[in-house]
Structure 1
Amino acid sequence: MSPTVAVVGGGYAGISVAAQLDDVADVVLVEPRDAFVHSVASLRSLADPAWIDRIFLPYEGLLPRGRVVHDRASRVDHRGTTLASGERIAADYTVLATGSGYPFPAKLAEHESTRAKDRLRAAHRELTASDRVLLLGAGAVGLELAGEIKAAWPQTAVIVVEPGPEILSGAFTAEFRTEVRRQLDALGIELLLDSSLAAEPATEPGTRAPFTAATRDGAQISADIWFRCYGATVNTDYLAEDLAAARGPGGRLAVTPDLRLVGQERVFAVGDAAAVDDSPTAANAHAHADTTAANIRAMIGGGRPSAHTPRPGGIALPLGPDAGASYRPDLGVLGADATADIKGRGMMLDAYRDLLNAVGTGAR
């Protein structure tokens, strides 16, 4: 009999590791959502509603041999997974791939795709009626959202408030940040660095309701709508005591160099759930999945797992379909045209349509 591999979480890392093991194991992918959400393109879909249906892809074509269980993992231990429904999935290997949450619209909390789509369309209508937009946070999400809004509504004023002294935390060069700043200036996006609000607006984010907010130094900012562009939360609160010992203060899980949970022989953690030095990107999630799938295959065959080799740090930051900048240590800084080719225009959607065998769904 083939060993059973339970993959908990159907995001970028989860679908990749599940697909790679489907031919050598009985794979069970546990995911409460009714469709895969290509969150790389979620900000684009907010600005351009033609993208909304495209970013939701069905799971049904992912595993020719295995199965996808649309349920929530309520308790995972080293022997398997107990679902919210009460079903128990005993597993020879478990992969924790539950990722992280992030404020709307970067990630969507709804499990039902119909509700998630309705929320995106409603927020798009609210943005269409807004003249001034306030974004809190000048990280990658805040700046990408600013660029998408300006591409869709060039006359809309966009103000980005950032408590730090510079945009984009991370090991990026001054040259890269200078190029991003140049493009933000060209788009007319207002940056307020070394600044923060005394209190968040009383209105709900993503809802048009004009307000005036004060910064800590007394300045007044008026806008029609605002979005929170910071605050990732790692999803690992479902672990039983034997696995929870690996959880750090922020929820990420301590792993060995081969991505096994510390103290565990057959439990792996990948993507945002794993406490590794890689940045939390879809590309790094796939790299974790590649390492983990190869290690489980080796262990099934009686071999030993190998250490994960981190990818070089980098970023592709679209500022709308035709603007943006990218950086990788071995390539340096790439401008708008290259960034549009890498990510900006297609948002890497076709690769996930192919992975999920969802070629006949949605619109390209």
Structure 2
Amino acid sequence: MVKTVDQDQSTQSQSGDLRQGSRPRVVVVGAGFAGLAAIEVLRDAPVELVVVDRHNFTTFQPLLYQVATAGLNAGDVAYPLRTVLRRARHAHFIQGTLAEVDAKRRFIGLEDGRIVDYDYLILGIGASASFFGIPGAEERSHTIYTLDAAVDVRNHIFQRFEYAASHGVHDGVLTFVVVGGGATGVELAGAIAELAHRALYTDFTMLGPDDVKVVLIEQRGRLLEAFHEDLSEYARRELRARGVTVLLNETVESVEEGLIVLKSGREIRNGLVLWAAGIAVPPVVSKLGLPTGRGGRIMVGSDLRVVGSDRIFAVGDVALSTNRDGAPLPQLAQPALQGGEHAARQILALLAGSETEPFRYRDKGIMATIGRRAAVAELAGGVRLHGTPAWVSWLLLHVAFLLGSRNKASVLMNWSWHYLSWGKGPRVILGG
């Protein structure tokens, strides 16, 4: 199944003898929302399922900001992939990082030299941060697209508090700048503002509320541009009520050590810059030899097969799929979930000798939380919620989508504890 071979030789002849019987092999690369949706469809199908991911767990990305701000523990949002596959008789997990795709000979190569051959391939390798070529942004700011990154951000936040408690507040050490006014940026800014006040209330009583500043920078004229204007304005008001300074129509010129410079000429000294301004495809995509379009995303046909490839599907953030109007689908959880499921079903159709069907995205709505009892939701059919109803809906939806009963119970317990014991919670620096 997995082997290092001379790539001048036939991949299938070298690895075919390692297959389980004569079942066709479907390889799923990436176990995010798209990959998990595909796995669910293929779990009991008459195929040999191989899942490849650089981690041996899947991460519930929408709640990473809560890990970064100590609302949840890292284990609450991670679930073992081998447990996901445990009920499937003909499934394997391979921990590794994608390095190449050979569409002609039908194999993928991993960074460590291993190869995995396939009959059908689903690429759902997610996305990374986009820094738009801004000087210093990548080197001097932090993102939360992985579990390790979220824990790292949490460490940095509390390191700043500990430094200020020991050495005093100067040079913006307790100024936290969030770049990007989309859902991730709004959720981060609101959570940091609330965390700061909880920490000051219980752990850092030598510091005052005026010592901590949270600044949210958005280059457009309003926050949460994907939402209705009324909900965007509600989010702005709620953030300001929590002490967040919201700067609209501002663009970052450069990120320097302890200083962020805006194109307006404004300079903000800070202790930490958090980047939530946009996402890009992983760098490896440009090396795969597959056709790419806008934003470097892999071009796919109506059935989500990669253009020019009969046996490769691309789904989720990495795929340039479109809606009925021809506009690119947003790089969000719902398009990934629906795309992963669709790709898996098309593979089963092809194996059964049937034609594929075009992908039809169903917009089920979007949500974002701002803080305690404050959220916004825009649901299918034009239903708009804000405040406590939206917040409760957000909580219930996210718990429902978590994998594993233990994770669901742990998240519910943590959220209930934080709600009932406002101001208390674990605020430790991990990893030295």
| Offset from partner CA, 1:271-325 (integer Å, 9 cap, x none) | 0011022211112211111211221121121211111111227321111243111
Find the aligned partners of 1:283 and 1:88 in 2 and give their Cα distance: 31
Which has the higher Rg, Structure 1 or Structure 2?
2
Q: Which runs of 5+ in 1 are unaligned?
A: 204-210
Q: Percent identity?
A: 23
- 1:322 correspondence with 2:373: yes
Deviation of 1:218 after TM superposition, in Å, equals 2.9
Partner residue in 2 for 1:348: 398
Q: Which runs of 5+ in 2 are unaligned?
A: 1-21, 130-140, 163-172, 198-208, 322-327, 412-432
Find the aligned partners of 2:362 and 2:304 in 1 and give their Cα distance: 14
Name the amino acid aligned to 2:228.
T
Partner residue in 1 for 2:14: none
Find the aligned partners of 1:80 and 1:122 in 2 and give their Cα distance: 40
Q: 2:61 aligns with which of 39, 42, 45?
A: 39
Partner residue in 2 for 1:134: 177
Find the aligned partners of 2:179 and 2:66 in 1 and give their Cα distance: 18
Q: 1:76 aligns with which of 101, 105, 130?
A: 101
Q: Which has the higher helix share?
A: 2
Find the aligned partners of 1:350 and 1:200 in 2 and give their Cα distance: 39
- 1:9 correspondence with 2:42: no
Secondary structure (helix, strand or coil) at the match of 2:373 reads coil
Partner residue in 2 for 1:180: 235
Find the aligned partners of 1:305 and 1:180 in 2 and give their Cα distance: 42
Partner residue in 2 for 1:208: none
Q: Is the 8 A contact 2:69 2:154 kept in 1?
A: no
Q: 1:22 aligns with which of 43, 53, 57?
A: 43
Partner residue in 1 for 2:11: none
Secondary structure (helix, strand or coil) at the match of 1:280 reads coil
- The CA RMSD over aligned residues, in Å, is 2.6
Q: 1:51 aligns with which of 65, 73, 86?
A: 73
Q: 2:358 aligns with which of 276, 296, 307?
A: 307
Secondary structure (helix, strand or coil) at the match of 1:237 reads helix
Please, which moves more after superposition, 327-336 or 93-102?
A: 327-336
CA shift in 2, pair 1:346/1:224, >3 Å: farther
CA shift in 2, pair 1:255/1:214, >3 Å: closer
Once the two structures are superposed, the pairs formed by residues 208-227 of structure 1 within 5 Å of their partners are 211=259, 213-227=260-274
| Offset from partner CA, 1:29-68 (integer Å, 9 cap, x none) | 1101132122111111111254322112211111223011
Secondary structure (helix, strand or coil) at the match of 1:302 reads coil
Question: Number of residues paired by the alignment?
Answer: 344
State the TM-score, normalized to the length of structure 1. 0.85
| Offset from partner CA, 1:156-179 (integer Å, 9 cap, x none) | 321112222222333x32222222
Find the aligned partners of 2:283 and 2:254 in 1 and give their Cα distance: 29
Once the two structures are superposed, the pairs formed by residues 150-161 of structure 1 within 5 Å of their partners are 150-154=193-197, 155=209, 156-161=212-217
Deviation of 1:350 after TM superposition, in Å, equals 4.8
Q: Give 4+ residue runs of structure 1 displaced > 6 Å after superposition.
A: none
| Offset from partner CA, 1:77-122 (integer Å, 9 cap, x none) | 22121222322221111001011013744312xxxx7x55752441
Partner residue in 2 for 1:206: none
CA shift in 2, pair 1:82/1:239, >3 Å: farther
Secondary structure (helix, strand or coil) at the match of 2:300 reads coil
Find the aligned partners of 2:368 and 2:271 in 1 and give their Cα distance: 26
Deviation of 1:13 after TM superposition, in Å, equals 0.6
CA shift in 2, pair 1:184/1:18, >3 Å: same
Once the two structures are superposed, the pairs formed by residues 168-247 of structure 1 within 5 Å of their partners are 168-170=224-226, 172-203=227-258, 211=259, 213-235=260-282, 237-238=284-285, 243-244=289-290, 246-247=291-292
Deviation of 1:235 after TM superposition, in Å, equals 2.2
Deviation of 1:269 after TM superposition, in Å, equals 0.6
Q: Is the 8 A contact 2:400 2:408 kept in 1?
A: no
Deviation of 1:23 after TM superposition, in Å, equals 1.5
Deviation of 1:360 after TM superposition, in Å, equals 7.4
Partner residue in 2 for 1:85: 112
